[in-house]
Amino acid sequence: MGIAKEKFGKMETGEEIYLFTLRNKNGVEARITNFGAAIVNLFVPDKDGKAEDIVLGFDKLEDYFNNPSFFGAVIGPNANRIGGAAFELEGKEYHLSVNDGPNNLHSDIDNGYHKRPWTVEEEGENSLTLALEGKDGDLGFPGNKKVTVTYALTDDNELKLHYKATGDRNTLINLTNHTYFNLAGHDSGSIEGQLLKLNASCYTPVLPGAIPTGEIAPVAGTPLDFTQMKEIGKEIGADWEQLKLVQGYDHNLVLDEADGSMREVAEARDPKSGRRMKVFSDLPGMQFYAGNCIVKQDGKGGVTYMPRTGFCLETQYFPDNVHHPEFSQAVFGPDRVYETETIYQFV
């Protein structure tokens, strides 16, 4: 079906920012901007063939300049949290933005990859490759690096996100996409009645500040047990310390069968519309965030977004892995290229 391109707005520097539309033969349509490499719209048909936009976001580029909830964007160079906003690598200490209590969240709130214009590297038949370059010391991280993300939409209703990063020094690379899904439509209110299954029999418990303890604990017998399909809201208000620490679900799941191969890691359903989404990844972890802390704000079409009007399934290396040698390490450089893929498929 090809790729369409239109102007989305301008940076304060005058640089034009674009909106790219990928379409397939089944009526699925993804709109992506090169600002923050963000998914702005994702239209998916329901059981009756009616397509609705199922991701939270904004109609205007200027709203993405603020974007306090990171709607749709690619997060980098390091997603999630680093305890104490500092880390040591190869004998040297690096200091990051202190932006989440005493910790670092998503690299940098104002200057992270989600707040930058990406270069359009390639426009394919139904794919888009965006690129970003970071200099040594950028945001506190070592190494000159080049990062690309390729979005591709297939006729099997797969939205594929392929990430790659190369650099001249070992550094931390842990990219993710922060799209908030609402399978009933972005304007339909709470996601608590939607169903979720996570192929994760363990999770990483957190301390106050949402920093992992280092433990890998079973989900069995806890509200985080989504090994069978259940409503997101069923146990979200349970009297459980882990939920209270982060106001609901905002936890890293230890994905089953994490051997670096692509496999199904999650499935979500909306009973009313009949929409189903499967998630595939080759990564060891995934942050399930139920949108507990979405700030009340105006989104697309004047819709007011509130807490729990969208959920995120952010594939990743575990949070704060640099401080936990027992976790898979997200250290990449000249001898270890970062390359990973996540697929959201609508079935």
Among residues 73, 90, 101, the alpha carbon closest in space to that of 211 is found at 101
What mean pLDDT do residues 131-148 have?
98
Q: How far apart are CA 191 and CA 183, in angstroms?
A: 8
Average pLDDT over residues 123-127: 95
| Nearest-angstrom CA–CA distance, 175 and 54 | 22
DSSP state of 294: P
Average of per-residue pLDDT across 195-206:
98
Contact 315, 176 (CB under 8 A): yes
Catalytic residue among 106, 178, 186, 251: 178
Distance CA 223, CA 44 (A): 30
When pLDDT is cut at 50, 70 and 90, the band that residue 265 belongs to is very high
Cα separation, 52 vs 56, in Å, equals: 12
Confirm whether pTM is higher than 0.75.
yes
Query: Average pLDDT for residues 314-330, to the nearest whole number?
Result: 98
Is 186 in the active site?
no
**What is the C-alpha separation between 314 and 178, in angstroms, rounded?**
6
SS3 state at 84:
helix
* Omega cis (within 30) before 117: no
Residue 79 confidence (pLDDT) above 90: yes
pLDDT surpasses 80 at 14: yes
Q: Is the pLDDT of residue 1 over 90?
A: no
What is the percent of the chain with per-residue pLDDT over 70, rounded to a whole number?
A: 100
Centre a 10 Å sphere on the Cβ of residue 245 and count the other Cβ atoms it contains.
16
Indicate if the pLDDT at residue 2 is higher than 80: no
Given 52, 251, 314, 324, the catalytic residue: 314
- The whole-number pLDDT of residue 336 equals 97
Asked whether residue 57 carries a pLDDT value surpassing 90, the answer given is yes
As a whole number of angstroms, the distance between CA 118 and CA 46 comes to 32
- Active-site residue 125, yes or no? no
Distances (CA, A) of 312 to 185, 281, 338: 14, 14, 22
- Tens digit of pLDDT for each residue in 206-251? 999 999 999 999 999 999 999 999 999 999 999 999 999 999 999 9
Mean pLDDT, rounded, of the chain: 97
Residue 326 has a CB neighbour count (10 Å cut-off) of 10
